[in-house]
Structure 1
Amino acid sequence: MRDKRFYIHTLSLLVFILGFFLGFEFASQYEQSLSIQNTIVVLFLLKQFDESVLNFQYILFNNLRVVFLLSFGGTLTFGVLTFLNLLFNTLTLGAMFYFDLTSDNLREFFFLILPHGVFEIPGLIIAGSAGFKLPYELLRFALGKKNEIISEEDAKEFFKLVGISILLIFIAAVIESTITSKLATSLVEYKLF
């Protein structure tokens, strides 16, 4: 049992890390052509990054949508949707990290990511593990390594992973809508951004 969990958690983590590094690399390749566009995008995001938009319900709904795409979408598409969703979500994070690193804004990056990211990132990785869980079990059945397609234990493990990821995403949404949004507002208000 431990081996199976290790593989699906490792796969989810590796896809997350791959997306982060690809985002970092893509951003470094297109840095010069994006410098003007990046300024426009940053101004747009700052305008959108206020407390009226970043309320709890909005953040929770968007993050739960991602969790359900990662977990149930991955199950329905044999892990493809989980892979793509994890990859694309972390591409953005990697690109943001690159731009903040090269413009000496790492402090702001960590201020805006760490408070809620401590819960959100593991929540997304665990949701990714759930999305890989049942396809992994189907593959094991197809290869003759187990007798049942999906056992009751497999289903319980899947729903446990989904439940844990929802709990972590809920905590992250509370923190993001309170602490992170106040930090962002303060950084903009005091021109620290």
Structure 2
Amino acid sequence: MQIFYRLLVFSMFLFLIGAFLGFNLLNTPKSENVPNIFGFYEKQNEIVPNFRFLFINNLKVILILSFGGILTFGGLTIWGLIFNGIPLGLFLHSSWNLRHVGELNSFFFLILPHGIFEIPALIIAGAAGFKIPYELLRFALGKKKEMITEEDAKEFFKLLAISVILIFIAAMVESRVTLKLATYLVEYKLF
């Protein structure tokens, strides 16, 4: 169990590195460009993200973080966690620098409802992606007798299942709450 917490903390650290990079990547965009940057409200070529779209896209991310970590000995997991933290940092940066018009509230309205499920799902999937490579490394260093035990596989799939459940909930909340909030904030020029 202590190993799980280390992998979880490492995954969280990588995600926060991505958020930090995103926060520091760009100069402050103009207020009217914020919705277009994040795709909340585009008139041309508008894709209306629904539950299925959000769930499938996030499921792909979860599978890349977990199984990609196994196939690349954690490389895709590292990249995926950092890459998925960047949009959070970009949005926080934009909201923070436009806070004089209430944009920081928009950050919380548009991230918090589904983010409390989606962000932990990404971090847990990252921990799953590091689990098997970590156990292989322990075997290679002579610190365990079996390469991959049944318990290791069960823990990996348990973490994956938790991530999928959280992503499912996040997609439900994002499609039914967050997108409606975004539309409302843009239509009434509160964003």
Q: Map of 1:1-150 to 2, 5 A cutoff?
A: 2-27=1-26, 31=27, 35=29, 39-40=32-33, 42-43=35-36, 45=39, 46-47=41-42, 53-104=48-99, 105-150=103-148
CA offsets, 1:135-169, max 9 Å, x none?
00011111111011100000000000000000000
**Is 1:170 aligned to residue 168 of structure 2?**
yes
SS in 2 for 1:57: helix
Structure 2 unaligned regions, length at least 5: none
Q: How far apart in 2 are the matches of 1:148 and 1:93?
A: 40
Aligned residues: 186
Deviation larger for 109-118 or 5-14: 5-14
Moved over 3 A (4+): 38-44
Cα 1:178–1:84 shift into 2, 3 Å: same
| Residues 90-124 of structure 1: per-residue CA shift (max 9 Å, x gap) | 01111110111001111001100000001001011
Q: For the Cα contact (< 8 Å) 2:34–2:94, is it kept in 1?
A: no
The residue identity in structure 1 corresponding to 2:84 is: N
Normalising to structure 1: TM-score of the pair?
A: 0.90
Query: Could you tell me how far 1:42 is from its partner in structure 2?
Result: 3.3
Query: When the two structures are superposed, what TM-score results if normalisation uses the length of structure 2?
Result: 0.91
Higher helix share: 1
Residue 159 of structure 2 is matched in structure 1 by: 161
Q: What one-letter code is carried by the residue in structure 2 that aligns with 1:124?
A: L
Q: 1:39 offset after TM fit, Å?
A: 4.9
Deviation, structure 1 residue 43:
3.3
SS of the residue corresponding to residue 47 of structure 1 reads coil
* Counterparts of 1:64 and 1:163, CA distance in 2: 11
Q: Measure, in 1, the Cα distance between the counterparts of 2:21 and 2:67.
A: 25
CA RMSD of aligned residues (A): 2.1
1:79 & 1:152 partners in 2: Cα distance?
20
Deviation at 1:55, TM superposition (A): 0.5
Cα distance in 2, alignment partners of residues 87 and 25 from structure 1: 14
**How far did residue 40 of structure 1 move?**
4.6
C-alpha separation in 2, matches of 1:75 and 1:11: 16
Percent identity (aligned) = 55
